[in-house]
C-alpha cells in the first residue's frame, strides 16, 4: 500500500512533489499533518529520501512528538522532527566543543528572574508584571533580529519603566547573562545562526546531514527563524512549507505571515497546492468562518466534505453580565452532557486567562470537572509521575496477578477511588489523571504486559502524547490552536474582550479577527457564541466580528439567536 493511497486528490498532489520548493496552503481541518507525514513517508518509500537526512520543523514539542508518532505508524523512523529551538540547540551542543574546546553555555530558566537581578543592580524596583513585559520585549527584539540600539529607535513603551531605563536594563540583562556564560531561549537561535554564518565547515556538515526540509505552521515564522532556515538550506531548494495565513495569531511575538504569502515570489517555480476541503466542521460552522475571513490576505474558502444534513445551526446568546454568561454556558453544557456528549468532547474558549475563573466556578457548582489548557502538562503532574514509577516498580516484581488488576491495584494504592471527589481543585485533577491512565490500560491490546505498558507511558511522555481526560476543556483561543472538539462554546464576544481593548490599529484588530477564526474552526459539530453587556462597572457592545458575519437580533444572518430557558438575552443592536 502506497503512502499516497489514504489522501484525497489535493493532498496527494501536495505529497507527490518530493523535490524543489513546495508550499501547501492548508486551511483549518484540511489534513495538513497527514500531508506532511505521508509526503515524508512517500519520499522514504520511493527512495527519494533517506530518513536521517530529513528535518521536519514545527513550533511546539507536542507537535514535533505527534509528527514522530505518525511517522512511526507509517513505518518511518529516524526523521529529525523537532522544534526550531531543539534543532538549533542540538547543533550548538554538537559543534561548540569542537569550535571552542569547551562545553556550550547553559540555558537560563527564567528571564524574569535574571531581569530582576539586573534591575536590583541598577537600584530599580519594577513590578513582576513589568518584568514579564520586558522579558516579552526582549524576545520580540531578538526574533526580529534587532540590536538594542535598533530596538530603542522603535519607541515601544512599557508601563512602569522609563524608556531610557528600559534600554539600560536590557543591556544590563545581556551583560549579566554573558558574565554567567548563559544563553536565553532566543540566543540559542541567534548563536546557531551565527555559527553557521561564521564557520563554513559547520555549515558544510549541516548541509551534508540534512537535505530535505519541511516546516509546519509556516505562517508563524519569525525573521530569526526564517534566517536560520535559510542557513540550514544553503543553496538547496528541497523545502516544503505548510501554513494558513488566516491562523497567524502570534504577530505580537514576532511572527510574520509574509514569509508564507510571499513564498512564490521567493521561489517563482514553486509548486503551490491549496487545501480547502475541510474534514472537521459542519457546513454551517464553515459558513461563519469563511464569512469572517472573506477578502483577507491568503484566506482560503473552506469547503465541507458533506452536505451537513442534520447539523445544528450555530447560536448566539447575549447576557446582562459575565456571571450570567458563565451560568448560561454551564447550563448549556449540562444539557449537552445529558443528551449523551462526553465532557471531553466539549470546550469553552475565551480571549484571556482572566475569563476562566467565573466559568470554572459555574461548572464546578454543577459537578462538572474542567481542565484548563496551559496549566501543568499531564506527564508533569506529580500524580502521573507517581503512577508511572509505581507501575515500573510493579513490572519488576514477580507477580501472578494479571496486567489490568495490577494496574488497578497500583492506582488505588496511590489514591484512585471508584467515585471522583467533588468537582474542581487539585484533588479532582489528580483523580482525573489516574483515571486516564486506567483507561489507557483498559484500552491496551490483548497480551500487553505491565512492562510494555509502563514503557509506552514513558514514550508518550517523551512525545507529549497526552491521554484524553473526561473533563470539559477551558482554554484561551491562543492555546486552542491546532486542537478540535465536537462541541465548542465561544465566550466573551464583546468589544473590549474580542477584539481586546488594546487592539487599536488595523493590524492588531485583524490579528484579533484571526483569533476569532481559530476559535470558530475548532468546532466540529456544534458552535455556540455568547457575549455579555457588563464587565464590572462598564458596559460593552457586541463584538464587531458578529456584525461582520451578519448576525442580527431577529435571528437572520448566519448565527441563530438563542435564549437560555431561564434567562432573557439582552437586546442586540
Q: Does domain 9-88+189-275 have CATH number 3.40.50.300?
A: yes
Q: How far is CA 392 from CA 379, 385, 425, in A?
A: 15, 11, 28
Burial of 55 (0-12, 13-18, 19+ CB in 10 A): buried
Q: Could you tell me if 377 and 466 are in contact, meaning their C-beta atoms sit under 8 angstroms apart?
A: yes
CA distance 173 to 121: 10
Q: Which residue has the cell 531610557?
A: 164
The torsion region of residue 156 among left (phi > 0), alpha (psi -120 to 50) and beta comes to beta
Q: Could you tell me if 90 and 65 are in contact, meaning their C-beta atoms sit under 8 angstroms apart?
A: no
Q: How far is CA 321 from CA 104, 114, 474, 491, in A?
A: 54, 41, 19, 12
The helix/strand/coil state of 273 is strand
Q: Could you tell me if 254 and 222 are in contact, meaning their C-beta atoms sit under 8 angstroms apart?
A: yes
Can you give 484-532 as a three-state secondary structure string?
CEEEEEECCCECEECCECCCCCHHHHHHHHHHHHHHHCCEEEEEEEEEE
Pairing assessment for the beta strands 523-535 and 538-539 based on DSSP bridges:
antiparallel
The three three-digit cell numbers of residue 529, written as one number? 457564541
Binding residues: 26-33
CA distance 120 to 115: 9
Low-confidence residues in the chain, pLDDT < 50: 552-557, 563-573
Can you give 99-144 as a three-state secondary structure string?
HHCCCCCEECCCHHHHHHHHHHHCCCCCCHHHHHHHHHHHHHHHHC
Residues contacting residue 178 through CB under 8 Å, at least 6 positions apart: none
Nearest to 232 by CA among 217, 218, 212, 216: 212
C-alpha count within 13 angstroms, C-beta hemisphere, residue 335 = 8
Beta bridge partners of 534: 321, 539
Nearest to 233 by CA among 267, 260, 272, 265: 267
Nearest to 254 by CA among 280, 234, 279, 227: 227
Nearest to 37 by CA among 64, 9, 19, 10: 64
Q: State the pTM of this model.
A: 0.84
Q: What is the per-residue pLDDT for 439?
A: 86
The three three-digit cell numbers of residue 240, written as one number? 516544503
Q: What is the per-residue pLDDT for 428?
A: 74
Beta bridge partners of 490: 349, 529
Q: Could you tell me if 272 and 25 are in contact, meaning their C-beta atoms sit under 8 angstroms apart?
A: yes
Instruction: Convert the pLDDT of each residue in 166-199 to its tens digit.
Output: 999 999 999 999 999 999 999 999 999 999 999 9
Nearest to 225 by CA among 113, 289, 142, 307: 142
User: Class assignment of domain 284-375+471-561?
Assistant: alpha beta
Binding residues for ATP: 26-33
Number of other residues whose CB lies within 10 A of the CB of residue 279: 14
For 203-331, strand residue ranges (E) read 212-215, 239-243, 271-275, 277-278, 303-304, 315-321
CA 121 to chain centre: 37
Nearest to 290 by CA among 280, 281, 300: 300
Domains of the chain, residue spans: 9-88+189-275, 107-180, 284-375+471-561, 383-463
Angle of CA points 31, 36, 40, to nearest 5°: 145
269 phi and psi angles, rounded to 5 deg: -95, 15
Amino acid at each position: 500500500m502506497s503512502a499516497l493511497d489514504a489522501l484525497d486528490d489535493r493532498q496527494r498532489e501536495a505529497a507527490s512533489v518530493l523535490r524543489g520548493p513546495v508550499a501547501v496552503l492548508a486551511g483549518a481541518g484540511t489534513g495538513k499533518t497527514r500531508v506532511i507525514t505521508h509526503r515524508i513517508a512517500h519520499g522514504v518509500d520511493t527512495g527519494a529520501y533517506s530518513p536521517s537526512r530529513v528535518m521536519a520543523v514545527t513550533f511546539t514539542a507536542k507537535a514535533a512528538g505527534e509528527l514522530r508518532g505518525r511517522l512511526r505508524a507509517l513505518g518511518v523512523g529516524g526523521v529529525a522532527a523537532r522544534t526550531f529551538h531543539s534543532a538549533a540547540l542540538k547543533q550548538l551542543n554538537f559543534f561548540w566543543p569542537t569550535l571552542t574546546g569547551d562545553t556550550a553555555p547553559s540555558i537560563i530558566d527564567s528571564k524574569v528572574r535574571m531581569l530582576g537581578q539586573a534591575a536590583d543592580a541598577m537600584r530599580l524596583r519594577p513590578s513582576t508584571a513589568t518584568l514579564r513585559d520586558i522579558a516579552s520585549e526582549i524576545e520580540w527584539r531578538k526574533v526580529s533580529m534587532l540590536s538594542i540600539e535598533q530596538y530603542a529607535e522603535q519607541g515601544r513603551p512599557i508601563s512602569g519603566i522609563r524608556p531610557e531605563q528600559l534600554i539600560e536594563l536590557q543591556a544590563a540583562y545581556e551583560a549579566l547573562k554573558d558574565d554567567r556564560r548563559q544563553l536565553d531561549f532566543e540566543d540559542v537561535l541567534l548563536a546557531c545562526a551565527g555559527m553557521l554564518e561564521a564557520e563554513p565547515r559547520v555549515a558544510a556538515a549541516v548541509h551534508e546531514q540534512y537535505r530535505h526540509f519541511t516546516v509546519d505552521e509556516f505562517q508563524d515564522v519569525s525573521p530569526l527563524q526564517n534566517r536560520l532556515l535559510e542557513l540550514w538550506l544553503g543553496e538547496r531548494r528541497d523545502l516544503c512549507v505548510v501554513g494558513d495565513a488566516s491562523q497567524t495569531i502570534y504577530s505580537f511575538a514576532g511572527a510574520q505571515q509574509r514569509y508564507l504569502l510571499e513564498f512564490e515570489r521567493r521561489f517563482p517555480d514553486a509548486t503551490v497546492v491549496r487545501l480547502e476541503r475541510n474534514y472537521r466542521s459542519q457546513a454551517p460552522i464553515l459558513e461563519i468562518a469563511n464569512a469572517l475571513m472573506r477578502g483577507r490576505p491568503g484566506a482560503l474558502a473552506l469547503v465541507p466534505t458533506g452536505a451537513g444534513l442534520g447539523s445544528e445551526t450555530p447560536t448566539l446568546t447575549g447576557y446582562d453580565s459575565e456571571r450570567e454568561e458563565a451560568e448560561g454556558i454551564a447550563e448549556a453544557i449540562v444539557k449537552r452532557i445529558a443528551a449523551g456528549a462526553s465532557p471531553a468532547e466539549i470546550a469553552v474558549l475565551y480571549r484571556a486567562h482572566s475569563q476562566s475563573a467565573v466559568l470554572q466556578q459555574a461548572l464546578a457548582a454543577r459537578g462538572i470537572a474542567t481542565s484548563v489548557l496551559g496549566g501543568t502538562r499531564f506527564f508533569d503532574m506529580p500524580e502521573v509521575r507517581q503512577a508511572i514509577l509505581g507501575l515500573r516498580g510493579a513490572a519488576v516484581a514477580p507477580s501472578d496477578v494479571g496486567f489490568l488488576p495490577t494496574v488497578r491495584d497500583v492506582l488505588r494504592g496511590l489514591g484512585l477511588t471508584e467515585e471522583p471527589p467533588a468537582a474542581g481543585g487539585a484533588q479532582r485533577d489528580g483523580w482525573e489523571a489516574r483515571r486516564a491512565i486506567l483507561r489507557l490500560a483498559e484500552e491496551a491490546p490483548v497480551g500487553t504486559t505491565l512492562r510494555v505498558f509502563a514503557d509506552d507511558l514513558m514514550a508518550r511522555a517523551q512525545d507529549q502524547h497526552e491521554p484524553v481526560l473526561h473533563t470539559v476543556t477551558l482554554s484561551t483561543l491562543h492555546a486552542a490552536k491546532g486542537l478540535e472538539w465536537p462541541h465548542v462554546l465561544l465566550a466573551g464576544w464583546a468589544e473590549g474582550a474580542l477584539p481586546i481593548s488594546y487592539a487599536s490599529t488595523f493590524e492588531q484588530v485583524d490579528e484579533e479577527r484571526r483569533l476569532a477564526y481559530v476559535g470558530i474552526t475548532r468546532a466540529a459539530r456544534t458552535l455556540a457564541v455568547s457575549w455579555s453587556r457588563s464587565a464590572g462597572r462598564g458596559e460593552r457592545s457586541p463584538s464587531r466580528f458578529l456584525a461582520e458575519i451578519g448576525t442580527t437580533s431577529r435571528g437572520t444572518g448566519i448565527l441563530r439567536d438563542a435564549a437560555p430557558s431561564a434567562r432573557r438575552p439582552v437586546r442586540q443592536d
